Structure 1
Amino acid sequence: MSSIDGGGVAGQVEARLTAIADAVAGLCDADLTGLADAELTDTMARLEKSLRQAAAVGHKLIVEAVERSLPGKLGHRSVNKLLVGVLRISAADASARVTAAKSLGTWHAISGESLPADLPETAAAQRDGDIGADHCRAVREVIRKIPYAVPASDVEAAEQILAELARAGTPEDVENAGHELLAHLNPDGNLADDRDRKRLRGIRFGRQDKDLMTPISGHLDPETRALLEPILAKWARPGMNNPDDPESPTGDAEHPNVDRDRLAAAAGRDTRTAAQRNHDAVKEALRTLLGSGVVGSHRGLPATAIITMTLDQLERATGVATTASGGILPIRDALKLAEQAHPVLVLFDHNGRPLHLGRTKRLATADQRLALIAAEGGCTGPGCAAPATLTATHHKRDYAKGGRTDIGDLTLACDCCHALVHDGPGGWKTRTAPEGTEYAGRTEWIPPPHIDPEQKPRINHRHHPKELLDRARRKAQARREADARRRHKQPKPPGGGPTGSDGSDAVP
C-alpha cells in the first residue's frame, strides 16, 4: 500500500491531471477538418492508446481505495458502491472495472510487498496501450474456463499467448482463438462438463408485457445451435419472410419456386435488423411446421449442417469442429449429430489446401463451395467476420478477364467485401498467395494506395484462430527469449550474486 507524502506526490498527480485536462480540452476545441485521412486515423489510434493506458491507472486507483478501506470510511458498503457514488457510473460499469482491477491490478500483501497480477502479461499489454478493456475481458474469460486440473505452468503460458495475440488482434480474435486453446488444454473437447451443459440447456419465456411481447432467454447446447444455424441462414435471409412487405417471398430462400428477382427487390427494401429477421424466420418456420402435419408423428425436421474438422480430429475424436455459420461444437457432439441428421462432413489436411475441382463454366459447383467452406471458413476479406453462409463464391481473377472456375482460383466473399473489388479508383485486388510464402494458397487482398501506399497483401485470419494462436506462440516465445537474454546481460549486484553451477548468472 502507498500513501501520499505531503505535497510532493500530490503535487505531481495534480500537475499530470491538469496536463491531461488541458490536452483533452485542446483536442475538443481542435479543428480536425484540416487533417489528412492518414493523420485522422493516426489520431484515432494514438488517442485510443492513451485511453487504454488510462484504464490501467484506474486499476491502480481501485487497488489503492480497497487497500485503504476507503469505501467503509466514506460510508459505502463496497468499492462498487464507492465508484457509483463518486463517478456517477452504472452499477454494471463499476462491477466491470472492479473485476478488471482484481485480475490486472498490482495488489499488496500485509507487509506491503507487491503481489503479481493474476494476468501479468495482459496487464502489461494494457499498460503499453496495446489492448483495451474488451481484450482484457476476452483473455480473462478464456483463462476462467481452463479446467483446474491443467498445470499452473500451462495456464501461465496460455495467458502469455493470449495476451500476445491481443496485442495484434481484436477481442473477437482472442475469443475465437480461446476455443482452440481450450481444446488443446482439454483434448477431450469438454469445454464445459457434460453435466453442466445439460443443466444449463433451456429456453425461458417471460411474461407478456403491456405490448403483448414475450421476452425469451436461455442456452442452446452445441448440437441444437448447429441444427438451427442452417435454417436461419436460409429463412432469415434479407428479403425473406418479411411480414411488413407483402411482396416478400416466404419459406426457404433456396426453394426452386422462389423468384430470384423478387427476392432481390425485397432484400433491397428490407430494413429489419438481424434479430428481427431471425424472429420472423422462426415464426414462419413454426407456421410451416404446424401446417405440414409433421407435428405428432416426428420429433423434428431434418437439417443439413456443414461441419468442418481435420482428419486428425476425426481419428482422435477430440477437439472442436466448426460449422458454416461460424458455430463451434465439440467433436463428439459433431459425430453424434452426424448419426441423427444428414450433415455434410468436410475433411482437409493440416495445410488446409482444397482439392482442385476445375470447371470451365462461370458458376462454381456445390462441391467447390463445400471445399471453400472447409478451407476458408468464411469471407476472406481482411478482418471480415462474415461466416460462410453469408458469402458468395468469388473469382480471384475476374471471370470476364480470363479467370478460371478452378477451386484454386475461387474464394469466398460477402456482399460488402465483394463490392470492394473493382478496377476503378479505390478498388481492391485479390490473388492467391504464392508458393513459398507463409500462407501459400490462401487469398490475399491487396488494398488501394490511399489505404496502404505500399499495397502490402492482407490475409484474413478471423476464421482461422489456430493461425493466430501459432503466431502468438512464436511471438511469446521470442519475447521470453529476449527477456532471458536481457537478464543474462545484467551486471551482477555489488558483492556478487547467485550463480549457476557453471558460474554463470542464474536465470529465475
Structure 2
Amino acid sequence: MDELCDADLTSLADRELIDALARLEKSLRRASAVGHNLIVEAVERSLPGKLGHKTVNKLLVGVLRISAADASARVTAAKSLGTWHALSGQPLPADLPETAAAQRDGAIGPDHARAVREVIRKIPHAVSSSDVAVAEQILADLARSATPEDVEKAGHDLLAYLNPDGDLTDGKDRKRLRGIRLGRQDQNLMTPISGHLDPETRAMLEPILAKWARPGMNNPDDPESPTGDAEHPHVDRDKLAAAAGRDTRTATQRNHDAIKEALRTLLGSGALGSHRGLPVTAIITMTLDQLEHATGIATTAGGGILPIRDALKMAERSHPVLVLFDHNGRPLHLGRSKRLATADQRLALIAADRGCTRPGCDAPATMTAVHHVRDWSKGGATDIGVLTLGCDACHALIHDGPGGWHTRTAPEGTEYAGRTQWVPPPHLDPDQTPRINHRHHPRELLQRARRKANARRETDVRRRGELRVPGVSRGERPAEDGLP
C-alpha cells in the first residue's frame, strides 16, 4: 500500500490502469471478509465488555472512529458472513455460505452481500430451509457476474416464485419485518421516514387518519380550519364544509398534518406522564438573540432542529423557561444538597449540553441522564457547574476498572472552560488526552476550522513578506539569519 500511495500512476497504460482498479477492488473485497472474522473473534472473546463497551458496535466506533451506521453494517454482515464457532471450538457454517465464499474469493463486495442478505431476509418463514439454501446459492452465483442492483431485481422475481400466492407470510415474518425509521434531517430540515407497520398498528392508524385527515381538517395553511377530530361535537359542520372546499392539500399532506395534530394533542394531554424527571413534551432551546430577531434555527432535546419561526409558533402554547449562561456558555449556579438533579437543573443542562457529552456520541438529550462529573459517592456535589448529560450506554463506561473512562470539568483558561472532558482509557489513547464532544455543537467545529484557516493564511502572508525583503532575491534568506 505504501508503494501504491506513492506510485506515479500517469505512466500506466489504459489497460494497466483498469487492471489495477480490478485487482485493488478484489483485495478490498477480501479484506472485508477478513474484517468479518475479526469482528467474530472480538465478540467470541467478549472483548467489548472487557474494554467497557456495551456492544461490539460501540467498540468499533471507539477504536476505528467510524460512523455508527458503518459499524452497524459491518456487524450485521459479520453475523451472516463471518465464521463463528461452537463451544467446542469447531467452526460453524456461515448463515449465507455461498455469499461468504464469494466475498472471500474477492468476486463480490459488501453491496452484493447486502443485496443477497436483504432478499433472504424477506423470504417467508414457511418456505423450507432447503429452498432458502438454493435461493441463496442462486443469488450468490448471480452476484459473481452482476451488479448489486441486478441481484436486488432478481431477488424480487425469486421472492415471487417462492411465494406466488402471497399466503406464506405469517406472524413471525411480520414481527421480524416491522419497524419505523426516522432518517437524518436534510438541508430543508425535512426528515424522511420509512418502515413497515404490522397489521394491528395499521388497523389503529386508519381510523385516526380517516377522522383527522379529512379534507378541511387540521390544515395549518387555513386559519379557519377546524382542529382535532372531525367527528367531535364542537366541530361546526358548515365551517368544516367551507374549509374542505378551500383545501388544496394532497392526501399524503393531509395524513402528515393529521398525525402532527394528533401528536400535539397527545403531548398536551398529560397522558404520557414524565420521562427522566420532566413531563413528556417537546423541549426547544433558542437564544435570546434568536428570540428578539426571530431568525436562525432552534434545537430540540431529541437532537432535531427547526426554524425559529416554527419554534415561536409552538411557543405560543408553551411554558417558557429562562436559563442564564456565563461567558463560557455554561449555566449559572443551580445547586442542591441531594443526589438527584432537579427538573430545572435538567432543563439547564439540555440547553447547554444538548445531548450526551462523551466524545463522538450523538445521543440526544432525551436519551440521557444527569451525571455527576465527580461521582456522588466520592464527594461530588449536585451543582449545575459539575453536572453533565450522559446516555445510559456511555454512563456505564465510567468506572475504575480496565477500559473505564473518567470525566472532569475543563479548567479556566482552556478553550472550552467549564465543559465536560472525558478521559479515554489507555487502549483508545495511550496518552489519555481529555476530549470534548462537539457532535451537538457543530458551530464549534466550524469556528475551529475557520481559526486554523486564518492562521494558515497569516503564516503564508508572513512567509511571502519575508521572501520579498529588499536586496534578497526570491527563495533566498538574509545572510544574518545564519542559514545558507
| TM bin (shorter chain) | 0.3 to 0.5
Higher relative contact order at CA 8 Å, sep ≥6: structure 1 or structure 2? Answer: 1
Length-normalised TM-score, structure 2: 0.46
Larger Cα-atom Rg: 2
Length-normalised TM-score, structure 1: 0.44
